[in-house]
Structure 1
């Protein structure tokens, strides 16, 4: 629940409050990073970003979209884990977690539409859902597998230490 509140807190912030461009300009000059930026043009929600001509904007764009993926991956994983306490079946937990992510993503975009200098985009809902699917995959398959692997390695270590 706390993570959901954090998502909506970030949605209320203006674009300027969240911008990393001032920090990027302090750390680098356009010339310093020019060789590291690909020759690409990105079209996203009525915007065209040319990486070579505006590298700071491009880096911020990549940072923002990666943030969407990560924030919603965490949200989905936390939702799935929270539903584990209710003891519902695995399929229901997966379905409800994914539904929760989609509803929060749509609510997030709705809140952003009212925030200063922010826009609402269906592409972000799709991106958020993709992040949610990644987080859900980690919570359902990767995390339990990692825990089993960790437990197995600890048992092996204890057996070897006992010899």
Structure 2
């Protein structure tokens, strides 16, 4: 890859990573009430989708305890999702450096884990929120899934680029 292109890609990747870290920080600034409202909104959308396909209203069809479990599931899925995206961003930054893939994976996982720790620490100071090491582990599991997704995308792109370069080389050799 052209060194200038690599530097530009690195800068863009660092900026998108920083922007995503700010997004996570902003979510962590939500009070317990507003965070609960956002989760409830997501569950309501899910409930509407279930109703659309099955004709059943979950609020009526299941117990309040089970409905609360659905909301908890969405809250934890949100944790995983935001760190899934963060780890992909970090991996893209690390793809612009020459290093072993295992080191990239380790750095990305460690970075996301440490950011999750600071995020949970930050939530200790937000009204109605608290720190949870379990949430930190859920965040990190989302990050690990993101690392796997980044590796799959990398392998696909690498294969495509390799085939393109071989094809391009064959065409040039034919003339």
Query: Does the pair score TM above 0.5?
Result: yes
Shift of 1:53: 2.3
For residue 81 of structure 1, the aligned residue among 52, 68, 92 is: 92
Q: How many pairs were matched up?
A: 139
Q: What is the DSSP-based 3-state SS (H/G/I as helix, E as strand, rest coil) of the residue aligned with 1:88?
A: coil
Aligned positions of 1:120-159 closer than 5 A: 120-140=131-151, 142-147=152-157
Question: 5+ residue gaps in structure 2?
Answer: 1-17, 49-55, 165-175
Once the two structures are TM-superposed, the CA of residue 120 in structure 1 deviates from its matched residue by 1.1
Does the 8 A contact of 2:43 with 2:74 survive in 1? no
- What's the C-alpha RMSD, in Å, of the aligned pairs? 3.0
Greater strand content: 1
Q: Distance in 2 between matches of 1:139 and 1:113?
A: 31
Is 1:53 the equivalent of 2:64? yes
Higher alpha-carbon deviation: 65-74 or 14-23: 14-23
Partner of 2:40: 21
Is there any run of 5+ residues in structure 1 with no aligned partner, and where?
38-51, 155-163
How far apart are 1:113 and its partner, in Å?
1.1
- Alignment of 1:5 with 2:16, yes or no, is no
* Runs of 4+ displaced beyond 6 Å: 25-28, 149-154
Taking structure 2 as the reference length, what is the TM-score of the superposition?
0.66
Residue 139 of structure 1 aligns to a residue whose secondary structure is: helix
Q: How far did 1:21 drift?
A: 2.4
Q: Is the 8 A contact 1:80 1:136 kept in 2?
A: yes
Question: Which structure carries more helix by proportion?
Answer: 2
Alpha carbons of structure 1 residues 59 and 134: separation in structure 2 relative to 1, 3 Å: same
Taking the TM superposition and a 5 Å limit, the aligned residue runs for 1:86-105 are 86-105=97-116
Q: 1:81 to 1:24 in 2, by over 3 A?
A: closer
Query: 2:118 maps to what in 1?
Result: 107
Per-residue CA distance 1:123-156 (angstroms, 9 max, x = gap): 101111111110011112x1123335767999xx
